Each structure stands twice: as C-alpha cells, then as structure tokens.
C-alpha cells in the first residue's frame, strides 16, 4: 500500500523550517528551507531559465515548462485547485507531466496495491453479475477463490510485476457453455499512483514558493 502524505502531515514536517536565500537574481535562485540544527526534511528550490530543481532530504526532481518556473507553480494557487480544508494547491498530474528527471529511489509513480485490488475485484464482480444466470453458485465460488488465491495472493514485489503478471496470465475454466474466465483489457486500468516522495515534493513546492512570495510582500510593505 502506498503511504500518501497529507497536507497536514507535510505542514508538521516543516513546522520549524526557516527560509534561507542563498541566491536570488531574477529567475536564478537558490532558496533553502530547513529547521535550525538539523537537516531532517530540508529542501532547496533552485531555478534557472526554464527549469526548477527540487532537491533535499526527500529526493530530487527537475521540472521544465516556463521561463520562470516559480510562475508555473503559482498558477494552480491562483486557480485555487484546493480540496476542502487545504491551504496548499498542488496538481500532481499536471506537474508530473513537466518532469525532466525523477528521484532515483521512489520516482514519480509506483505500483498501488489498493488500485490493483480494486481493479481485479471490480472486473470480477462485473463478470459475475453479467453471468449470474449462466453459472452455478459453486462455479462462481470456485472462480472467486481462484482469483483471490492466484491473482491477489501472488507474491508481492516493489513494482507489482508478479501481481500484474498473475492478472494477465489468469485463466480459469468455468463451464462448457461459457468456457474460461480471464481478465479482458486489464491493461486499461490505472494501477499506479504518485509516489510518497513526489507528493511530498509537490507540497514542498507549493509551500516553499508561498513562503518566498510572502517574504517579498513583507519587504515591499516595510519599504
């Protein structure tokens, strides 16, 4: 199961973080965020024309889209892509499309046990309902048990290769009228979700740029 970071959990991680402007010249920036006395959950936002690099304790990701990438990530804040009760606007799907390089440990997306199980059981239940009057209770039970054992019970691995292969290869004889059951068009299902590190990175981008913008506003107001 993929552990998804929530906004509240992210904000706890960076509660004591302070912003350090190491370089700030137009769209060339190096802004670091860290808690004094520790490098735990520290991160930097580094920009140069057309690119932004997020790097730190939670990995490294490089994005490319606009000349000023801070402006790119501000767009979703301005459009208020927020769920109820949230204050940080993140758009993992769209932002992920702009990735040029991803973290070597967790990458951008990873196999999701939850999505895989939902896809398998969803397809199976649909088939059973559609063939209710062509099968006996015992035949339906045998098929269900076979899927639970062979597909959902397949050995797990980090990338879900074995479980996915078990779904593609599954073939179960039902009766002489129907023939065999197999997972038709299973490749169309979405069985990968955003990685833990990438979601944390998205929150860090939204929060870090927000802190940067607020510091600029404070300077202008004090002038």
The reply to whether 90 and 13 lie within a common domain is yes
Asked whether residue 180 is assigned to any structural domain, the reply reads yes
Helix (H), strand (E), coil (C) string for the chain: CCCCCCHHHHHHHCCCCEEEEEEEECCEEEEEEECCCCCCCCEEEEEECCEEEEEECCEEEEEECCCCHHHHHHHHHHCCCCCCCCCCCCCHHHHHCCEEECCCCCCCEEECHHHHHHHHHHHHHHHHHHCHHHCCHHHHHHHHHHHHHHHCCCCCCCCCHHHHHHHHHCCEEEECCCEEECCCCHHHCCCEEECHHHHHHHHHHHHHHHHHHHHHHHHHHHC
Residue 211, domain extent: 7-107+195-222
Asked whether residue 1 is assigned to any structural domain, the reply reads no
The reply to whether 79 and 176 lie within a common domain is no
The reply to whether 84 and 18 lie within a common domain is yes
Asked whether residue 139 is assigned to any structural domain, the reply reads yes
pLDDT at 123: 96
The reply to whether 125 and 184 lie within a common domain is yes
How many domains does the chain contain in total? 2
Does the pLDDT at position 80 exceed 70? Answer: no
Does the pLDDT at position 66 exceed 90? Answer: yes
Asked whether residue 137 is assigned to any structural domain, the reply reads yes
Q: CA 130, CA 167: separation in Å to the nearest integer?
A: 20
pLDDT at 122: 96
The reply to whether 79 and 31 lie within a common domain is yes
The reply to whether 91 and 169 lie within a common domain is no
At residue 99 the predicted structure's pLDDT band, cuts being 50, 70 and 90, is: very high
pLDDT at 77: 73
The reply to whether 74 and 118 lie within a common domain is no
The reply to whether 176 and 212 lie within a common domain is no
pLDDT at 86: 74
**pLDDT tens-digit series, residues 143-162:** 999 999 999 999 877 688 99
Mean pLDDT of 130-142: 96
Asked whether residue 2 is assigned to any structural domain, the reply reads no
pLDDT at 222: 53
Least confident range of 73-77, 90-94, 111-115, 187-191: 73-77
The reply to whether 17 and 76 lie within a common domain is yes
Average pLDDT, the chain: 91
The reply to whether 72 and 116 lie within a common domain is no
Task: Tell me which of 3 and 51 has the higher pLDDT.
Answer: 51
The reply to whether 157 and 118 lie within a common domain is yes
């Amino acid at each position: 199961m993929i552990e998804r970071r929530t906004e509240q959990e992210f904000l706890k991680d960076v509660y004591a973080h302070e912003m350090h402007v190491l370089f700030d010249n137009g769209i060339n920036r190096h802004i670091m965020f860290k808690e004094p006395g520790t490098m735990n959950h520290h991160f930097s936002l580094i920009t140069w024309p057309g690119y932004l690099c997020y790097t730190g304790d939670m990995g490294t990701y490089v994005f490319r889209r606009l000349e000023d990438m801070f402006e790119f990530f501000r767009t979703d804040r301005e459009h208020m892509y927020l769920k109820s009760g949230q204050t940080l606007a993140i758009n993992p799907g769209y932002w992920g499309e702009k990735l040029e390089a991803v973290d070597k440990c967790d990458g951008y997306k990873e196999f999701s046990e939850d999505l895989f199980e939902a896809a398998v059981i969803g397809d199976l239940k649909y088939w059973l309902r559609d063939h209710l009057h062509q099968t006996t209770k015992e035949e339906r039970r045998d098929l269900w048990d076979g899927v639970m054992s062979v597909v959902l019970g397949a050995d797990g691995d980090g990338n879900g290769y074995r479980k996915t292969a078990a779904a593609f290869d599954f073939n179960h004889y039902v009766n002489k009228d129907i023939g065999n059951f197999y997972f038709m068009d299973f490749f169309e299902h979405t069985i990968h979700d955003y990685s833990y590190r990438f979601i944390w990175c998205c929150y860090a981008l939204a929060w870090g740029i927000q802190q940067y913008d607020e510091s600029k506003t404070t300077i202008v107001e004090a002038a």
